[in-house]
């Protein structure tokens, strides 16, 4: 059975394993950042960026948003960026992030 012209081929098992390995590496970097004292001043932005990258990978591949309309990807990832910006704004407003 062949995919319809509007459908896309989904990645095979090797692609999902590759994405899983990338997610594991990003998680290991996040854990390492937590234990390196020199990175304490920039820990929050680094962790937010890495978490957003993991979120985007999971949303695009495991939730198949990469293969759907780009509108869904923009809505999903755009909401994440807005939430992250609001979090940083509130942390700055209440003085938790600014030393």
pLDDT at 56 (0 to 100): 80
C-alpha atoms less than 13 angstroms from C-alpha of 96 in its C-beta half-sphere: 9
Residue 24 banded pLDDT, cuts 50, 70, 90? very high
Cα separation, 51 vs 46, in Å, equals: 8
The answer to whether the predicted template modeling score (pTM) of the entire model surpasses 0.85 is: no
Chain-centroid distance of CA 56 in Å reads 4
pLDDT at 2 (0 to 100): 58
Task: Look at residue 9 and tell me whether its pLDDT is greater than 90.
Answer: no
pLDDT at 10 (0 to 100): 66
Locate 90 and state its tokens: 């509130």
Residue 7 banded pLDDT, cuts 50, 70, 90? low
Given a contact cutoff of 8 angstroms between Cβ atoms, the answer to whether 48 and 87 are in contact is yes
Enumerate the domain spans of the chain.
13-93
């Amino acid at each position: 059975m062949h995919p319809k012209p509007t459908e896309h081929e989904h990645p095979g098992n090797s692609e999902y394993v590759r994405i899983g390995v990338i997610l594991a590496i990003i998680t290991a970097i996040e854990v390492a950042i937590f234990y390196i004292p020199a990175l304490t001043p920039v820990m929050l932005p680094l962790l937010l960026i890495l978490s957003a990258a993991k979120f985007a990978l999971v949303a695009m591949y495991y939730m198949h948003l990469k293969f759907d309309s780009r509108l869904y990807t923009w809505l999903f990832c755009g909401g994440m960026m807005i939430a992250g910006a609001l979090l940083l704004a509130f942390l700055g407003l209440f003085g938790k992030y600014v030393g």
